[in-house]
Chains A and B, each alone.
Chain A
């Protein structure tokens, strides 16, 4: 704690002894209260059990050759890793991963920066546009994949249809048919869904910039471009570091949209490492080798994170500048030999456009940029809604067109009231939608509740005692779990869950989601608590509160916006999650909505596009509502560094 706690110590001792020595002598001084340990214990135990054990288990797997049928494990040491070194498939996948990640990171950063700069200006409708921009990121990757795979679909896709309608049918291509083009298009889709996150975090950085900096630079003679490079970009450097790390990890781990859009094809053109690991583990059932691939992916993200830190990280001021002789503050320099003033040329007269022209150009350019942003963010989502209202048969017309023959609610009827849609054959998959929605809501609500209760206590302890070693180490441990791909964990989860009979249960999903959302909520609450003055805790304790009472009556009301933000993030992440839900459920009993949507793609009955889009629209409903009504909480979440994994 602070100096004020030292009052009770003997005077003589406090002069010579360091605070650390004092702390040892007097148990009361600087001791972390038991309450703090109790507050983090549940979070740490759950994460340790639910992440640590599977992680260790998959490491164990990666060192073995396994036979899932005979259940024999043969220790092979690093053979699984060694075999990857000479594996051409692995090398090619690594190359594609690098390309995919570079494309995604560059795309999201440039685009996100442009979005953030636009959204930082004041203009009519900025709030609505901010919400609109967030939708592609808030919606489930599965829905993103469904949407864009239909847009790019060969003969009857929306893009081809649009070109036909515009009379440019000759330009149409089998979009995802060509290998390299498919890789680029999938990466572009990834950029579409991830750029808003970058924009959100950069916007938070821009808003923290003191307005006087730009005014000062303006007066110092810097134009808009010079100001962007000399002031804005350096100011955003810490944000950019964090964003690059997040964007890199997210693109290395990208799995859902690949599963939906290309499944690694055509051929192996979009087989990146995460997909290769999935294939090896779950299709070829070579668990050991699959685990090794995924461990390589984890290692890669660690190495890249460290590299970013080394390149972009905060730097101490130049060595050699120190030590500086102390100067008396404000002291009048005495007898000075002044350097002569340089002869300055008269100030430059800039060539200027007439002001109305310049102003008009600026306004016009800005309006065009805003319009482009609206189209980029909203058009695909509106297309999804339109397709869900289009008669199912329209969606597979050739030649394709985007103009529906009429609007209908038939698709929604099919998925929401499967039994009553008489005369229309309802597929098995469509009948699963209502239960899936209920499952998603139940799981999301439970996960949010658990995470905010445990995460708030843990966040408090981390914020107040972050400098104590135990808390510092465990906080970093929690953060590291966010760098491990879910793919690495999901196989051990499957095996362990089978043992406990948790497969196909909502409880199982809730436990799994808590394992990776607890660190997130603890991290968010920690940064929120750091903004709450410690004097509030002290006042409450002095006024006679117990620690629990202090949390409940004093701190909780203060951090309520943070709690809401954490709850929203946890709900969204759990609502949108696909991989765990896919692997850990096999019957409709516990399947969530992303799994059911993906199921439409796997079934044979191929003209089920209508109901699938209806289900997709239903699945993006909560994210869209959140983006529009809780936008400020999302900004709050971005400020505290929360990210959807």
Chain B
């Protein structure tokens, strides 16, 4: 219900810059993830939006209005913390009611709204429990409930799933997506998990060292990474990078060729026109739907995939191919993507 505009925002702790001139425009009702390795400034950016941290330069606008100098409580936003920050001495009901009571709403409204949030998140049976008596997943839901209960202009989430175990994490992220669709809230979501970011978001902002690397739809980021950092960070296992002059195809020195393991398969039967590499198969790693192949190509380990490893022998020579259109070309010095 609010658009968030981040205009050349910088933030430094003393002489140490954390955010360097960020420009991000989050549309009304959009789900945006801030993705990056730890220490890249993504949580700091979120706290700046919330107003918990003051920005050193630039502006933050909500619906076109400058809120940079407003106190957190005057911004009408909610934040779900990584450790959930549930008030340990209050029952779930009081945790949910706390933001409403701070608005001096009548007990009637508070009760109705708490019931609404509890119903939405399936917390009805837990309302009288203390946070210490809840499981991790339940705490997470209470934290989300407390955030949405007063219908904030925007919902900010700081790695809210990182304390859950793997299977619960996948289920909960579906829940969050559904909730966001239902409430049509603007959401800014911080994560270091690329899969989480891709699945959830309308757009992903990839950050590194306080600088925005790319801000685009998830599949655009996957298919057309803007630079070497994004290419290496998105996609697991990591993209293979080969020097342009060493690789067949003559892409020239000063360039790097990037090819994702999923695009690189053993040759034979496939389209023969593509890019090819020959090396010695070092290791076969079964991973369920596919097998990963570690291939030693001229002293450089290259990762490839195959569905059926029968007939492959570690130690034997192996030729790998990838369709030409799946290759990514980067300038080796600037790291920027080159039109292929």
Contacts and interface: CB of A to CB of B under 8 A. Distances in A.
Contacts of A307: none
Contacts of A210: 83, 85
B175 A332 contact: yes
A238 to B, nearest CB: 10
A168 to B, nearest CB: 44
Contact of A219 (B72, B109, B113): B72
A327 to B, nearest CB: 6
A235 B89 contact: yes
Interface in A211-253: 212-213, 215-223, 226, 230-231, 234-235, 237
Contacts of B85: 210, 212-213, 215-216
A231 B87 CA distance: 7
B125 A325 contact: yes
Contacts of B51: 219
A318 interface: yes
Contact of B52 (A218, A220, A350): A218
Contacts of A320: 128
Given A321-B129, A333-B122, A355-B69, A345 B105 contact: yes
B130 interface: yes
A327 B126 contact: yes
Interface in A185-215: 210, 212-213, 215
Interface string B127-164: 01110010111101100001000110000000000001
A219 B50 contact: yes
Interface size class of B (residues with CB under 8 A): 35 or more
Interface in B259-304: none
Contact of A329 (B69, B128, B168): B168
Interface in B92-146: 98-99, 102-105, 109, 112-113, 115-116, 118-122, 125-126, 128-130, 133, 135-138, 140-141, 146
Contact of A230 (B87, B116, B141): B87
B168 A330 contact: yes
A542 interface: no
B113 A347 contact: no
A347 B76 contact: yes
A11 interface: no
Interface residues of A, number: 46
A537 B119 CA distance: 49
A339 B115 contact: yes
A336 interface: yes
B222 interface: no
A219 B73 contact: yes
B233 interface: no
Contact of B116 (A219, A332, A339, A345): A339
Nearest to A209: B88
Contact of A324 (B103, B129, B174): B129
Contacts of B88: 213, 234-235
B135 to A, nearest CB: 5
Given A220-B73, A344-B151, 6 more contacts: A219-B72, A237-B89, A317-B91, A329-B138, A330-B141, A347-B150
Interface of B: 47, 50-52, 69, 71-74, 76-79, 81-85, 87-89, 91, 98-99, 102-105, 109, 112-113, 115-116, 118-122, 125-126, 128-130, 133, 135-138, 140-141, 146, 150-151, 164, 168, 171-172, 174-175
23 contacts: A215-B81, A216-B81, A219-B99, A220-B99, A220-B146, A221-B73, A234-B88, A317-B130, A318-B128, A321-B91, A321-B128, A327-B126, A329-B137, A330-B171, A330-B172, A331-B122, A332-B175, A338-B119, A339-B118, A342-B112, A342-B113, A343-B109, A350-B74
List 10 tightest A-B contacts by C-beta distance, closest first.
Answer: A333-B122, A221-B102, A321-B128, A212-B85, A220-B99, A216-B85, A234-B89, A330-B137, A342-B112, A342-B113
